[in-house]
């Protein structure tokens, strides 16, 4: 069980981005985290996975607890070992590495060869496309295949909790449906899921519970079915308001921005 | 004059062959240094200008181990060459430890600082290490106890120094070793880290360990280059020499030409620079009136300049490097 309580995150010591955020991901559940651009969704995943440091971000208040242990001070490697992995926003596959090598990086904290072989087999069965292209350079895969690889990579460590940051972004409807089914499959096999999405319809259709984030705070939460029927949600997140098409393309552009490096 | 007459049987072709081996050897040394530079740059985005000084210190380590400590001959029976190889490996290991220490105490605290500040730190290291090598340990007069010394062999009419063969073999071994290392779990983690540090951390890769290993390998490669560059018949001839520093600095054009972040580039860049320097030295010698004495030392920079005009980011440099 993941518990985020009253979390406050500040970037560069001045920019307050999360203002008292509280969410829970009970074991075995799929929890959806919804919110517009800049609401603080990715910041939330960074806080959970120990990646704030390299963005000059800091937890200034509140806590992140996983299975009863505080993890907000742990380094990313320890957090992965404790059972949390993520599919990062924008996929972030290692384009210069092969499919198999990408999967090896995902299993880097796992030193048990047998467990690794099992995890690898599982990914291959889950994504037959990847099985055919094990030796291909990841950068040459299509967007959908790269998303599958990113998910497969996150599964190599056998996580108890999987965080997906906008996995449907930029994918065709058919692929979105496939990713959705995959998430359900992963969850059914016993992994809890924190699903971050702009595609609220997709997320709420499979989630048990959902939170709506606005400028770093939860402004609404409830059972997924209830949220799905909520008028505000329908208006703001289910595309009944404004033109989705334009927003999509704008967002796609955003993700081609240069990847950040903390050492340059 | 008499010496020249005695070699009258040396044909143009023999000279060409002789020059070829010499060029391959020099290219190998440049490649070795460039490889260490590239590994460090790829992993930690640091331009390590201390690579040359690390090479000198590496040569000093060998002299210390093999000559001063008489290691491992003191305990281990067996042929001299075997002792020497073991001592060389020990020296390389010592260099690796030095590399890790440098990374930990001077580079890691600077993480996040601009590229320029990092480069200044490595330049300062260069000066410090070089000063230690010459003034504190009097490196110039130290023997490296090279088993084959100044020996040469004849290939047809061509005279080839064993040192040339050894340097080439050393570089070959190093490249194969790095190539294989890149396929191991740790090597994959290193490549992943240099491609996308945050994504690597998100997988649980211990990036500090990656940096440490990168600097360790960079320093060992420098040590190998330093040892093989200090052998006869290179100008310093069997002792670690002050000239070595300049020699080693000339590997920079190889790095820049090949591309800062490319292992293949290190190999190709090193070879191109080595070949152009040696062949120019051999065949343009009659034009010193026009080109000036010592012109061949300018050749690497000329070749680099021309290369950069054609390909601004090096022959194998990737797009990402363009941001730097
Ligand atoms: N490294 C950073 N330094 C400073 N501010 C940042 C940094 N990263 C994010 N922010 C700011 O924090 C706020 C939340 O960003 P975050 O990326 O968490 O939003 P998000 O909900 O994931 O948005 P999106 O849907 O666009 O991915 C934004 O206003 C953003 O500008
Ligand atoms: Mg985001």
Q: Mean of the pLDDT values across residues A158-171?
A: 95
Q: Categorize the per-residue pLDDT at A239 as very low, low, confident or very high, splitting at 50, 70 and 90.
A: low
Q: How far apart are CA B281 and CA B270, in angstroms?
A: 16
**Which pLDDT belongs to residue B136?**
67
Please report the atom of ligand 1 found closest to the CA of residue A46: 18
**Which pLDDT belongs to residue B130?**
81
Whether residue A43 is predicted with pLDDT greater than 90 in this model: the reply is yes
Is the distance from CB of B195 to CB of B210 less than 8 angstroms?
no
Helices B263-283 and B162-181 meet at what angle, rounded to 10? 160
Residue B141 forms part of a structural domain: yes
The count of other CB atoms within 10 Å of the CB of residue A193 is 23
Give the number of whichever ligand sits closest to the CA of residue A35.
1
Q: How far apart are CA A130 and CA A135, in angstroms?
A: 9
Specify the higher pLDDT residue, A68 or B229: A68
Query: What is the rounded (10 degree) CA torsion for B240, B245, B249, B255?
Result: 30
Residue B8 forms part of a structural domain: no
**Which pLDDT belongs to residue B62?**
92
Which chain A residues touch B if contact means CB-CB below 8 Å? 49-51, 54, 76-77, 79-81, 85-86, 88, 92-97, 101-102, 104-106, 108-109, 153, 157, 258-264
CA distances from B288 to A199, B7, B285, B315 (A): 72, 23, 6, 30
Closest CB to A105 among B111, B115, B203: B203
Which of A109-113, B107-111, B164-168 has the least mean pLDDT?
Answer: B107-111
**Which pLDDT belongs to residue B144?**
84
Q: Is A46 left (phi over 0), alpha (psi -120 to 50) or beta?
A: alpha
How far does the centroid of ligand 1 lie from the alpha carbon of residue B200, in Å? 20
Choose the residue to mutate in A15, A35, A38 for probing ligand 1, maximizing ligand atoms within 8 Å of C-beta: A38
Which of A36-50, A100-114, A123-137, B249-263 has the least mean pLDDT?
Answer: B249-263
Choose the residue to mutate in A15, A88, A199 for probing ligand 1, maximizing ligand atoms within 8 Å of C-beta: A15
Q: How far apart are CA A181 and CA B313, in angstroms?
A: 44
Q: How far apart are CA A163 and CA A165, in angstroms?
A: 6
Residue B2 forms part of a structural domain: no
Specify the higher pLDDT residue, A46 or B111: A46
Q: Is A205 left (phi over 0), alpha (psi -120 to 50) or beta?
A: alpha
Residue B297 forms part of a structural domain: yes
The CATH number of whichever domain residue B198 belongs to comes to: 1.10.3470
Q: Do B189 and A105 touch (CB under 8 A)?
A: yes
**Which pLDDT belongs to residue B241?**
54
Helices B162-181 and B12-44 meet at what angle, rounded to 10? 30
Whether residue A32 is predicted with pLDDT greater than 60 in this model: the reply is yes
Q: Do B203 and A108 touch (CB under 8 A)?
A: yes
Q: Categorize the per-residue pLDDT at A247 as very low, low, confident or very high, splitting at 50, 70 and 90.
A: very low
Q: Do A263 and B112 touch (CB under 8 A)?
A: yes
Residue B111 with chain A: CB contacts under 8 Å: 262-263
Q: Is B132 left (phi over 0), alpha (psi -120 to 50) or beta?
A: alpha
* CA-closest candidate to residue A38, choices A171, A198, A163: A198
**Which pLDDT belongs to residue B3?**
44
Is the distance from CB of A213 to CB of A39 less than 8 angstroms?
yes
Q: Categorize the per-residue pLDDT at B133 as very low, low, confident or very high, splitting at 50, 70 and 90.
A: confident
Residue B215 forms part of a structural domain: yes
pLDDT tens across B235-251, in order? 655 555 555 555 557 77
Q: Are strands A192-197 and A15-25 parallel, antiparallel or unpaired?
A: unpaired
What's the domain count of chain B? 1
pLDDT tens across A178-188, in order? 999 999 999 99
Q: Categorize the per-residue pLDDT at B300 as very low, low, confident or very high, splitting at 50, 70 and 90.
A: confident
Q: Is B213 left (phi over 0), alpha (psi -120 to 50) or beta?
A: alpha
φ, ψ (nearest 5 deg) of residue A104: -60, -40
**How long, in residues, is chain B?**
324
- Chain B's closest residue to A45, CA to CA, is B202
Residue A95 with chain B: CB contacts under 8 Å: 195
CB within 8 Å of B103: residues ≥ 6 apart = B44, B211, B212, B214, B215, B216
Q: Do A77 and B45 touch (CB under 8 A)?
A: no
CA distances from A256 to A33, A260, B136, B234 (A): 23, 11, 53, 50
Q: Do A54 and B198 touch (CB under 8 A)?
A: yes
pLDDT tens across B2-58, in order? 444 445 567 889 999 999 999 999 999 999 999 999 999 988 888 898 888 898 889
φ, ψ (nearest 5 deg) of residue A33: -120, 110
Q: Mean of the pLDDT values across residues A18-22?
A: 96
Residue B132 forms part of a structural domain: yes
CB within 8 Å of A69: residues ≥ 6 apart = A82
- Mutation target among B110, B199, B324 for the A interface, most CBs of A within 10 A: B199
Q: Do A108 and B205 touch (CB under 8 A)?
A: yes
- Chain B's closest residue to A107, CA to CA, is B203
Residue B280 forms part of a structural domain: yes
- Chain A's closest residue to B200, CA to CA, is A105
Is the distance from CB of B190 to CB of B182 less than 8 angstroms?
yes
pLDDT tens across A80-114, in order? 999 999 999 999 999 999 999 999 999 999 989 99
Q: Do A108 and B324 touch (CB under 8 A)?
A: no
Three-state secondary structure string covering A173-225: HHHHHHHHHHHHHHHHCCCEEEEEECCHHHHHHHCCEEEEEECCEEEEEEEHH
Q: What secondary structure does DSSP assign to B61-111, as a single string? A: HHHIIIIIS-TTTTT--S-HHHHHHHHHHHHHHHHHHHHHHHIIIIIGGGT
Three-state secondary structure string covering A84-102: EEEECCCCCCCCCCEHHHH
Please report the atom of ligand 1 found closest to the CA of residue A35: 21
How far does the centroid of ligand 1 lie from the alpha carbon of residue A40, in Å? 6
- A70: three-class secondary structure by DSSP: strand
Q: How far apart are CA A252 and CA A90, in angstroms?
A: 9
- B281: three-class secondary structure by DSSP: helix
Q: Mean of the pLDDT values across residues B127-133?
A: 83
Residues with CB under 6 A from ligand 1: A 11-12, 15, 17, 35, 37-43, 55, 89
Residue B222 forms part of a structural domain: yes
**Which pLDDT belongs to residue A246?**
42
**Which pLDDT belongs to residue B1?**
38
Find the domain containing B189 and state its range.
14-285+293-310
Helix (H) or strand (E) holding A45: helix A41-49
Q: Categorize the per-residue pLDDT at B59 as very low, low, confident or very high, splitting at 50, 70 and 90.
A: confident
CA distances from B175 to B89, B112, B268, B298 (A): 16, 30, 12, 27
């Amino acid at each position: 069980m993941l518990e985020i309580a009253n979390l406050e995150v500040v970037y560069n010591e001045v920019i307050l981005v999360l203002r008292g955020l509280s969410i829970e991901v009970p074991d075995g559940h799929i929890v959806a985290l919804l919110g517009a651009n800049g609401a603080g969704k990715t910041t939330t995943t960074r806080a959970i996975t120990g990646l704030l440091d390299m963005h000059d971000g800091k937890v200034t208040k509140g806590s992140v607890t996983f299975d009863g242990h505080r993890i907000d001070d742990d380094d990313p490697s320890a957090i992965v070992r404790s059972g949390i992995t993520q599919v990062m926003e924008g996929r972030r596959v290692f384009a210069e590495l092969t499919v198999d090598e990408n999967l090896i990086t995902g299993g880097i904290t796992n030193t048990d060869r047998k467990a690794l072989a099992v995890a690898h087999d599982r990914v291959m069965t889950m994504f037959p496309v990847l099985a055919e292209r094990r030796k291909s350079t990841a950068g040459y895969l299509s967007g959908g295949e790269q998303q599958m690889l990113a998910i497969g990579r996150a599964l190599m460590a056998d996580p108890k909790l999987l965080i997906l940051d906008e996995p449907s972004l930029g994918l065709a409807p058919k692929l979105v449906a496939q990713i959705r089914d995959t998430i359900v499959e992963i969850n059914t096999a016993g992994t809890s899921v924190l699903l971050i999405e702009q595609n609220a319809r997709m997320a709420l259709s499979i989630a048990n519970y959902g939170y709506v984030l606005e400028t770093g705070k939860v402004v609404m939460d409830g059972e997924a079915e209830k949220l799905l029927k909520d008028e505000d949600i329908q208006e703001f997140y289910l595309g009944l308001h404004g033109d989705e098409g334009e927003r999509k393309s704008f967002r796609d552009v955003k993700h081609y921005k240069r990847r950040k490096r903390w050492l340059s | 004059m008499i010496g020249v007459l005695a070699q009258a049987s040396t044909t143009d072709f023999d000279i060409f062959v002789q020059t070829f081996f010499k060029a391959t050897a020099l290219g190998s040394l440049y490649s070795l240094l460039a490889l260490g530079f590239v590994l460090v740059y790829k992993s930690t985005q640091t331009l390590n200008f201390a690579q040359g000084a690390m090479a000198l210190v590496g040569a000093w380590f060998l002299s210390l181990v093999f000559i001063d400590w008489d290691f491992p001959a003191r305990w281990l029976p067996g042929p001299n060459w075997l002792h020497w190889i073991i001592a060389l490996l020990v020296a390389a290991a010592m260099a690796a430890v030095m590399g890790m220490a440098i990374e930990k105490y001077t580079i890691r605290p600077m993480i996040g600082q601009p590229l320029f500040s990092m480069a200044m730190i490595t330049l300062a290291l260069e000066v410090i290490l070089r000063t230690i090598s010459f003034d504190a340990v009097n490196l110039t007069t130290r023997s490296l106890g090279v088993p084959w010394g100044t020996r040469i062999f004849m290939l047809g009419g061509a005279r080839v120094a064993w040192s040339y063969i050894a340097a080439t073999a050393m570089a070959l071994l190093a490249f194969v070793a790095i190539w294989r290392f890149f396929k191991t779990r740790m090597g994959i983690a290193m490549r992943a880290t240099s491609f996308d540090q945050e994504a690597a951390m998100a997988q649980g890769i211990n990036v500090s360990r990656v940096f440490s290993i990168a600097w360790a390998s960079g320093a060992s490669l420098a040590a190998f280059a330093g040892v093989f560059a200090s052998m006869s018949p290179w100008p310093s001839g069997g002792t670690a020499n002050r000239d070595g520093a300049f020699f080693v600095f000339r590997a920079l054009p190889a790095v820049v030409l090949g591309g800062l972040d490319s292992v293949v580039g290190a190999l190709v860049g090193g070879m191109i620079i080595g070949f152009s320097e040696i062949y120019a030295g051999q065949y343009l010698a009659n034009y010193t009136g026009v080109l000036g004495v010592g012109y061949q030392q300018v050749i690497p920079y000329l070749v680099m300049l021309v290369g950069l005009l054609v390909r601004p980011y090096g022959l194998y440099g990737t797009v990402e490097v363009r941001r730097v």
